[in-house]
Structure 1
């Protein structure tokens, strides 16, 4: 409690002429409570820049005194505190004000150069209060030449962290994890997860799917562990959970893992620079991850020089811009297990050195352009023997199908915002992908039906088709997927009904038809899903009305067979039907989603919701 004693001493020094001697830390807290009790006016105790692991410290200052409140500012969220508020980056006006305040000399005089230079510096700080303050103080009293040199360095690709050790030092403190909170191994992995976020492009939302895939292979984390690490990074303000309008619901943190394909995170530009800076501290041959940003065709010097020297990184990320032409210098990436390719061109060819990645297990391809990209040389990843997971975003899939036949080791494929067309009709999918256990299809606007041939992949365990507004038909063949454990048909608003054969899916543990607005039929034989643990059916408006009438205000008796059921999410009307079931299965939790309306709003056409739960939403306190 030594920190408590220091804080109490400061409060007394501020309020009384003579600070008493404290016999012990407990005595200091008791005397502070007596002092605050004597103050008649409302009291606000501000604890600034409180670090992670200080929960017990905060508890010491919680007193039952009327009109007494505590305001905590922190880089880290404290879940036990109520009324949390996250500060967003500063706007241009406030950024300029803070920077000018920090850059002005103590006597009030100013040596600030012209407005254009200031605006360029402020833009580099991207609304980050700490950066604005530290950079402003570092330039205070400096000559105009020094200011211009800083701007020139940053404009030529140098990191803002390279030119300011004070800012780097402040940001690095965010990566100092306490051994009191998490064991050493978890601490190391959490830091590695943060550094991996630098693999994705600047100013781009990051889907959770590729993160979970890469961490599964690099650190052997399952989905729950990966989600827990993400929530910890979010709590420490090292990443932000995006409010994505397409997700229909803004989920409570406890629901974060229930349908992670709809969730995205983002990272402030400076934090991305910090991740890259920390990853680049070692020599190229010793780095665990290689993160390369290529502007036009300006390859880094080490790339050109390492033509025949092996690269030992386990993760390699290559980002190219719209001016890049596919002329690759050769390298030897023999140890790469995760390859992340980010590009902006309409046509993109895989580099020849991919064929050398015999240890490659995860391939993540993201087109950051505005239209679906055509991929060339896709046969190269097909020649890799260990490739288990592929994530394709904003690409055209049909041209890849011939190459898919080579991916016999593939276990999971995720198609995000892709053009699927007739992609899988030209190959015998069950023969081409005999080990496939998971398919994710999200925001693929042209898919109208689940292809019958995909129903022959008997080993499939997870199928997720979400936010595909043209999707309207699930074939009878779906009943052949007898090993299916998770079926998500979330936000497919034109899906009208489910085939009768769905009753054959006896191994289902999660079944989600939420936001299928036009669905009018639900399998009455759902009681045959003996292993079902979660049932999500919120905002199925027509379905709710239909079932309420069809079942005469009570669920069919077969529903009582759902012995493993733990969670049901639905609207208020449907929740009334579940009350009798709760009498038989006391462990069932029925979560009511109260809708505040639907908004149709995506690039062209997106269906988004603004649903709120009966419980409070997750948030956290301020940053810096």
Structure 2
């Protein structure tokens, strides 16, 4: 390219053309209006600077290499805008791609101007060159210095690390801002403060609001450095920006370590002055560690989609409440120069329900509806009521949410996408996820791999973990652990599952309202489905009349229901690879479950795990030879145990795990269960009517874990329990009626863990000293005192006192 073509005149011409094309296309390409308006706003914001570059380039009469990339970006913008204007048919995928391209292009222009080759810095450099040239002419005696210093006041120019202007409204942020300010201004506060939330939750807005606060500005004054980090960060670039911001000579860095060292020296030179470093949109905890220095009055404020546990609990930003959401939405649909063209309170409330309190969603949707008539509002609300696809595909929202998932490694991402199998706003038992993931992804037997994945997701603000007792999972017991999804991210999961044809999707998630099946299903317009996971949610009016479904590859079926009567679908009989069945009733009353006999079909003999929640089971009169685990939670089981025409051991001859939790009609354990000699884990918890255990329990010779926690009416452990020679764990926590352990408990030579929290009245027999392998007792403080005399005889023994740290916050989410 010739020098003239990269000079100021050419740049100015290109810039003017592009700005004119964008302005004209906003009127023509209404489907891309939000993205085009943002592009226009970016171009207008840098107009004065571009004009300055044009003028100075002409004065210097030389090519400027730093403008080449900007010219290419502007040409790309012009070409893309023309394509958007010409696109007449609004195919969903093409629209998403085009709109995504507009967003990325806008970000590239902004990044060029503010991060890599900042327009501000380029202008300053040009002005310095002009001054140098002027000085040269003075030395030569040819002309006087111009008025460049009178024209430019250096102190009035924003530096590279200046806090961005807060242009948008900030409803709902006053309380978190005050809490954050209190922590920030503490003299003995944490050096690193992390504000975390999912993408689009308003973290950056909150921090900009904080930095504009008078008390914060009064403390940190000119030493507030605001740096946008993003996913692909460069430590040396961050340091350079801080040096430039302080108008210091920028050292030449060969390595990142040298840059960090130089920054520390620079900050130390400030003496006792307070310093605030804001690192916005951080994706790596290790980056923050690098900027920690042993300096007085030095604070680092971080915004991230992740929770960084090393820096304390941090501040989790919550979704907006209805009042704040309405204020923000109304602001988003109001043009800058007047009142909304149309606004309807009832329609707005429906839109708020879709947006789930997400500031990003409210602003995106508000931008889509700004200036639109009533008909468009009504059409959009109707469209979103039918499904999530058109809402999530509002591209700026999709790109932001998608980036949270793209940052996950593939296996964790797959596990996260499985969470969409469960209904919105419902707690998901971690034990259910373990059952799924052990079969789908071959997680380790004790569930630790699944728990690790969930902690990764929690640390990335993709889920909320609810743990009733902090120490509950130390021995592999996760029944008191739950997880909840963020609503918009669940919508993204469902949206992604809809992008592929039904026949090829990995996970098929279906919501049925009334008896309205998806069109492809009711009209049988599909080939065999190859999904590995099938989730079907039905409401209170569903009649259990099923259409046939050909899904031979399904390995996990999740059925979410709300009716008092429910029939298992016959099409499950054709799922030869089915390994896991999870049936959960979210209605008020237990659901009568029928067609249970289908589970004994030879065609689904690979079934390994069954989890039934809040249902009534008429009978277990069906043989499932390969079943390894059955979990019954909040179920009516008394009738099934009493009325079964054949032994429960015949139904589950190879069962390894049996869990019964919160089954209030269980008064006695069926004797036949003790004939399942393959059983390794038996858990009967929170069954308050259970009063006795059969002596036949001695037959469970392979039993390794026996949990009886919170069975408050259980009066004793039968002496025959001591015949369980392979028992490694015994849990009788909160069994308030047990007054003593069996006399010959010392015969449990393989017992390693004994849990007896809340058993302070339980006497310990002398045979305790024979428990040579016992290395851990978990109990309350009073019970711990009873164990003191036995520690000398049991040198491996560790007595752990569990504090009453029950967290019942998750009960607010319990709808069963």
Q: TM-score range by the shorter chain?
A: 0.7 to 0.9
Task: Report the Cα offset of residue 143 of structure 1.
Answer: 5.2
Q: Deviations over 1:25-69 (max 9, x none)?
A: 334323332343325344443322221xx1221111111122323
Question: Secondary structure at the residue paired with 1:413?
Answer: strand
Q: Deviations over 1:469-508 (max 9, x none)?
A: 2222222222221111111112222223211111112212
Task: Report the Cα offset of residue 581 of structure 1.
Answer: 5.8
**Paired residue for 1:447, among 660, 666, 669?**
666
Question: Bigger radius of gyration, 1 or 2?
Answer: 2
**Paired residue for 2:362, among 129, 132, 155?**
132
Task: Report the Cα offset of residue 462 of structure 1.
Answer: 0.5
- Counterpart contact for 1:375–1:400, Cα < 8 Å: no
**Paired residue for 1:390, among 610, 623, 626?**
610
Task: Report the Cα offset of residue 19 of structure 1.
Answer: 5.8
Alpha-carbon RMSD: 3.1
Task: Report the Cα offset of residue 406 of structure 1.
Answer: 2.4
In structure 2, the partner of 1:196 is 418
**Paired residue for 2:541, among 294, 300, 323?**
323
In structure 1, the partner of 2:627 is 410
**Paired residue for 1:177, among 394, 403, 407?**
407
**Paired residue for 2:587, among 338, 356, 369?**
369
Q: Which has the higher contact order (CA 8 A, sep 6+)?
A: 1
Q: Say if 2:454 is the partner of 1:233.
A: no
In structure 2, the partner of 1:184 is none
Distance 1:201 1:597 in 2: 26
Q: Which moved more, 1:574-583 or 1:118-127?
A: 574-583
Distance 2:526 2:368 in 1: 43
Alignment of 1:160-309 (within 5 A): 161-177=391-407, 187-222=409-444, 223-242=447-466, 249-251=468-470, 255=473, 258-306=476-524, 309=527
In structure 2, the partner of 1:5 is 236
- Counterpart contact for 1:207–1:265, Cα < 8 Å: yes
- Counterpart contact for 1:458–1:482, Cα < 8 Å: yes
Task: Report the Cα offset of residue 291 of structure 1.
Answer: 1.0
Gaps of 5+ in 1: 179-186, 244-248, 607-624
Q: What TM-score comes out, normalization by structure 1 length? A: 0.84
Q: Which moved more, 1:581-590 or 1:60-69?
A: 581-590
Task: Report the Cα offset of residue 393 of structure 1.
Answer: 0.8
- Counterpart contact for 1:8–1:29, Cα < 8 Å: yes
**Paired residue for 1:511, among 716, 722, 730?**
730
In structure 2, the partner of 1:610 is none
In structure 2, the partner of 1:74 is 304
Gaps of 5+ in 2: 1-231
Q: Deviations over 1:530-587 (max 9, x none)?
A: 33332222222433xxx3xx67xxxx4744633362x332112333444566667666
Distance 1:188 1:144 in 2: 44
Task: Report the Cα offset of residue 391 of structure 1.
Answer: 0.9
- Counterpart contact for 1:135–1:167, Cα < 8 Å: no
Distance 1:342 1:136 in 2: 33
Alignment of 1:34-113 (within 5 A): 34-37=265-268, 38=270, 40-51=272-283, 54-105=284-335, 113=343
- Counterpart contact for 2:469–2:807, Cα < 8 Å: no
In structure 1, the partner of 2:259 is 28
In structure 1, the partner of 2:782 is 573
Question: Secondary structure at the residue paired with 1:302?
Answer: helix
Distance 1:488 1:146 in 2: 59
Q: Say if 2:814 is the partner of 1:595.
A: no
Q: What TM-score comes out, normalization by structure 2 length? A: 0.65
In structure 1, the partner of 2:88 is none
- Counterpart contact for 2:564–2:587, Cα < 8 Å: yes
- Counterpart contact for 1:517–1:539, Cα < 8 Å: yes
In structure 2, the partner of 1:497 is 716
**Paired residue for 1:420, among 637, 653, 657?**
637
Distance 2:507 2:701 in 1: 40
- Counterpart contact for 2:520–2:526, Cα < 8 Å: no
- Counterpart contact for 1:9–1:19, Cα < 8 Å: no
Relative to structure 1, is the Cα distance of residues 582 and 65 closer, same or farther in structure 2, using a 3 angstrom cutoff? Answer: farther
More helix as a share of residues: 2
Distance 1:457 1:489 in 2: 18
Distance 1:123 1:357 in 2: 37
Distance 1:597 1:64 in 2: 38
Q: Say if 2:572 is the partner of 1:344.
A: no
- Counterpart contact for 1:509–1:533, Cα < 8 Å: yes
Distance 1:291 1:484 in 2: 38
Q: How many residue pairs align between the two structures?
A: 575
- Counterpart contact for 1:464–1:489, Cα < 8 Å: yes
Relative to structure 1, is the Cα distance of residues 146 and 590 closer, same or farther in structure 2, using a 3 angstrom cutoff? Answer: farther
Question: Secondary structure at the residue paired with 1:363?
Answer: strand
In structure 2, the partner of 1:622 is none
In structure 2, the partner of 1:620 is none
Relative to structure 1, is the Cα distance of residues 409 and 2 closer, same or farther in structure 2, using a 3 angstrom cutoff? Answer: closer
In structure 2, the partner of 1:432 is 651
Task: Report the Cα offset of residue 110 of structure 1.
Answer: 5.3
Question: Secondary structure at the residue paired with 1:574?
Answer: helix
- Counterpart contact for 1:529–1:562, Cα < 8 Å: no
Task: Report the Cα offset of residue 268 of structure 1.
Answer: 2.0
